Structure 1
Amino acid sequence: MFDKVLIANRGEIALRIHRACREMGIQTVAVHSTADSDAMHVRLADESVCIGPPPARDSYLNIPSILSAATIAGVDAIHPGYGFLSENARFAEAVEAHGFTFIGPTAEHIRMMGDKIVAKQTAQELGLPLVPGSPGPVGSLGEVVELGEKIGWPVLIKAVAGGGGRGMKVVNSPDEAAEAFSLARAEAKAAFSNDSVYLEKYLGAPRHIEIQVLGDGRGEGVHLGERDCSLQRRHQKVLEEAPSPALNAEQRAKIGELAAAAVRKLKYRGAGTMEFLFQDGEFYFIEMNTRLQVEHPITEAVTGIDLVREQIRIAAGGPLALSQKDIQFHGHAIECRVNAENPETFTPSPGKVIDYHPPGGLGVRVDSGLYAGYSIPPFYDSMVAKLIVSGPSRNECLMRLRRSLEEFVIGGIETTIPLHQKIIQQQEFIDGEYNIHWLEKLVGLKK
């Protein structure tokens, strides 16, 4: 087992990793920008190293600075968390080349799944169902129109190197193709330095279902059930729940085993997530995230398995702790992402936290680095807390969530807590009858 781990991240996920390490008897090293010198994970870590000024490109995305910090601190391994460098194959390679262990999958698998075309081709070889679309990048407007006529309008143009909705355009007819194709390529170029795009059939009202997987890197792999991530705004997840209210036992078992079998065939190492669209009883693979997910706590709540601990154990060379038959699912869990934003306009609201009172009680967990007096910097993602509630049934979980949101106080800034209160009062949400477009209609946004 490792003696010392460097956490190459910030905020609540850095604190989450620190806690798992400390419970395993592992010392932690926090890295931070000058804007994060007072962050909670920096205060609690055994050691901390400043790696640069506030902009992420000069600090949390600065590979030489992070490796220098690891060398100075004498760590055994580096945990990337999520975001930043967590799915950067070059970073994973550099970590290993400098004699540290990367707590995550191999650079080969990160690179494979980071290229959306290669990921789809790999998924097809692994026997996963795909959304109908182009076999590779589309290079001309003529190809877009030809494929649109073949698979049926509307279609979705997506960036090969994309994510987060950037470089993604819906095309309803041939008349819209030219503008959408041009805009998608321009956005992809600006966001990812790669203007390659591909085409998929646009599904009108799907659910977003993802399967949590673990692999030991030697051919053993399991799934830990599904999460429903359909509540999204501009392709960013807002609220997630496990299990999905849309699946029956047969569908759940089928897609779980397909994902676990894929992990075994790949000889995938560590934690990962297979993401699918689900519509009319059919699943369609869209991508694999080769990292820990923001929403991993709801899987922990229904399985009782510490995913960060398992990541660390596997990276240290340990076997999978459980076989598939040992994994049991209990009750229901929901996570609300709380952002420092206006709940109606979604304008960022960084600033000083005057009051902070997280909810508590049975089945309530809050992952956050906030404290009274902390100043939220304006340089990073606006998510400042995750509220996770669990209960024996979905109905009890909803009641607990309502009570917890009422208790949650973050004073001095605006947050999206009122948005979550609005969501859980809607009858469609209470009934579990929603899809990936439902939330945007609720808050008055166009698709």
Structure 2
Amino acid sequence: MKKVIKKVLIANRGEIAVRIIRTCKEMGIRTVAVYSQPDIDELHVNLADEAICIGPAGAADSYLNINNIIQAACGSGCDAIHPGFGFLSENPDFAEFAQACGLIFIGPSPKYIRLLGDKEAARAYMDSIGVAIVPGSKKSIDSLEDAILESENIGFPLLIKATAGGGGKGMRLVEAVDELEDSFNLAKSEAKACFGDERVYMEKFIDSPKHIEVQLVCDNKGNVVHLFERDCSLQRNKQKIIEEAPCHFLDETTRAALIKTATKACKDIGYDSVGTMEFLVDRDGNFFFMEMNTRIQVEHPVSEAVTGVDIIKEQIRAASGLALSIRQKDIRRIFHAIECRIIAEDTENNFMPSPGKINFLNVPGGNGIRIDTMVYSGYTVKPFYDSMIMKLIAFAPTRRECIKKMRIALEQLIMTGIKTNIEFNYLLMHNKKFVSGRYTTKTVEEFIGELNENRDHI
């Protein structure tokens, strides 16, 4: 059934809220921003048609406060809610409550969030249909005693991961049993703070793999379209820093198998929105399902730049009960694309967050450059939320040209008043493993070690 969306509440903040507002404006949809008390000067608040304060600084009292968000949506006459990423975006209770209140949830049906957004359920489902999964626990680990028992089955090193979230939050690498207690408690508390759900599970740590994901766009008419893959292997502390598409490392056979596995799984269950299926690929080309994100991804601009598809627009169409405006036969790789996440952090001081006022900002431009951000000269980076403040995307006909564009863009990106990882990203753009395309999830860690060693000799 077609449902007309005329007004959307965006249950998020920062650059993704700005990104959603822009597509809504193009579609003629009015927008309502929500904000915490310290976020009153945020760009999304100023760009939206209306803005409503939903609580104090703490995410639990604002951006994770389901009652306040739903009340804001209903009270402002919204038809729909867009959750963005993080916060409540993969919370099935939030999606169900929104629908029960007569609102359209711009995302998958709650049953699919429960099945695929929940990492425990997703692993069980993929295992049941014969897709190789990373070895690990069959269910969430509730106690330290259970964690110790499970670690004996899995072996070290292992990962503790949030069941209900992603983005590297609520994740800890454990290399020995004496690290287990602290890591278990930290993972649970971080998962609770970020997603409102403290459940965690455990899986075997695969050393130095490629982290490859497939971007999927689906509707409730049975249409499943993939926008190829992204290489998200450049990570620090399990959080992505740089993403690119296509993956320079994959052979065509493995690429085709990955995409076929992802699209078939979504087709078979009737998945009805935007989603991303993530895999680890080992040195021999074997791939293992890791998780599925039942939401828009941080790095979605990479796939948009490669294909020219507005993923948010298709997500809104699907939620409206409309068929996708795209067909698989029409999707082509037009460009190579690279995204650098710009983070307010001190790379020379253990990557500590660097909140504060941006005194001056100069952004690059020109053909093949895109910037998704909420910051401006005079903007104050808040200490309460994620420290990513910008996504810088370069795209060009070839990978070589794309790398060159990104290097120039990073040179021209000037931000004073706070510490950032701009220079760190620039140095990574010159790293031999990155340039060759044969980097892994361990490359950034090795690169940091080299930088620290060089500093010690200065």
Q: 1:162 Cα shift? A: 6.0
Pair 1:190 & 2:195 matched = no
Q: 1:142-196: per-residue Cα shift (whole Å, max 9, x none)?
A: 4532443xxxx6444545456425353334xxxx33x244334323432346776
Which of 157, 164, 172 does residue 168 from structure 1 map onto? 172
CA 1:137 to 1:20, structure 2 compared with 1: closer, same or farther past 3 Å? Answer: closer
Matches within 5 A, 1:176-215: 176-177=176-177, 179-192=178-191, 198-215=201-218
CA distance in 1, matches of 2:140, 2:383: 36
Pair 1:403 & 2:403 matched = no
Pair 1:341 & 2:348 matched = no
CA distance in 2, matches of 1:353, 1:156: 36
CA distance in 2, matches of 1:126, 1:424: 39
TM-score (norm 1): 0.92
Find the counterpart in structure 2 of residue 14 from structure 1. 17
Between the aligned residues of both structures, percent identity stands at 49
Q: 1:98 Cα shift? A: 0.7
- Secondary structure in structure 2 of the residue aligned to 1:2: coil
Matches within 5 A, 1:417-428: 417-428=422-433
Find the counterpart in structure 2 of residue 438 from structure 1. 443
- Work out whether residues 40 and 370 of structure 1, in 8 Å CA contact, stay in contact via their aligned partners in 2: yes
Find the counterpart in structure 1 of residue 73 from structure 2. 70
CA distance in 1, matches of 2:118, 2:10: 26
CA distance in 2, matches of 1:337, 1:295: 9
Pair 1:106 & 2:109 matched = yes
TM-score (norm 2): 0.90
Matches within 5 A, 1:32-431: 32-136=35-139, 139=146, 141-148=148-155, 154-161=157-164, 163=166, 164=168, 166-171=170-175, 176-177=176-177, 179-192=178-191, 198-279=201-282, 280-345=284-349, 346-431=351-436
- Work out whether residues 154 and 204 of structure 2, in 8 Å CA contact, stay in contact via their aligned partners in 1: no
- Secondary structure in structure 2 of the residue aligned to 1:269: coil
Question: Runs of 5+ in structure 2 lacking a partner?
Answer: 453-458
CA distance in 2, matches of 1:378, 1:15: 19
CA 1:146 to 1:130, structure 2 compared with 1: closer, same or farther past 3 Å? Answer: closer
Q: 1:258-307: per-residue Cα shift (whole Å, max 9, x none)?
A: 11111111211211110100111111001001100000001000111000
- Work out whether residues 165 and 234 of structure 1, in 8 Å CA contact, stay in contact via their aligned partners in 2: no
- Work out whether residues 184 and 197 of structure 1, in 8 Å CA contact, stay in contact via their aligned partners in 2: no
- Work out whether residues 353 and 412 of structure 1, in 8 Å CA contact, stay in contact via their aligned partners in 2: yes
Q: 1:55-80: per-residue Cα shift (whole Å, max 9, x none)?
A: 21121111111111112210110101
- Work out whether residues 12 and 84 of structure 2, in 8 Å CA contact, stay in contact via their aligned partners in 1: yes
Q: Which piece of structure 1 moves more, 114-123 or 232-241?
A: 114-123
CA distance in 2, matches of 1:190, 1:430: 38
Question: Runs of 5+ in structure 1 lacking a partner?
Answer: none
CA 1:145 to 1:435, structure 2 compared with 1: closer, same or farther past 3 Å? Answer: same
CA 1:383 to 1:144, structure 2 compared with 1: closer, same or farther past 3 Å? Answer: closer
Q: CA RMSD in A?
A: 2.0
CA 1:30 to 1:291, structure 2 compared with 1: closer, same or farther past 3 Å? Answer: same
- Work out whether residues 169 and 180 of structure 1, in 8 Å CA contact, stay in contact via their aligned partners in 2: no
Q: 1:343 Cα shift? A: 2.5
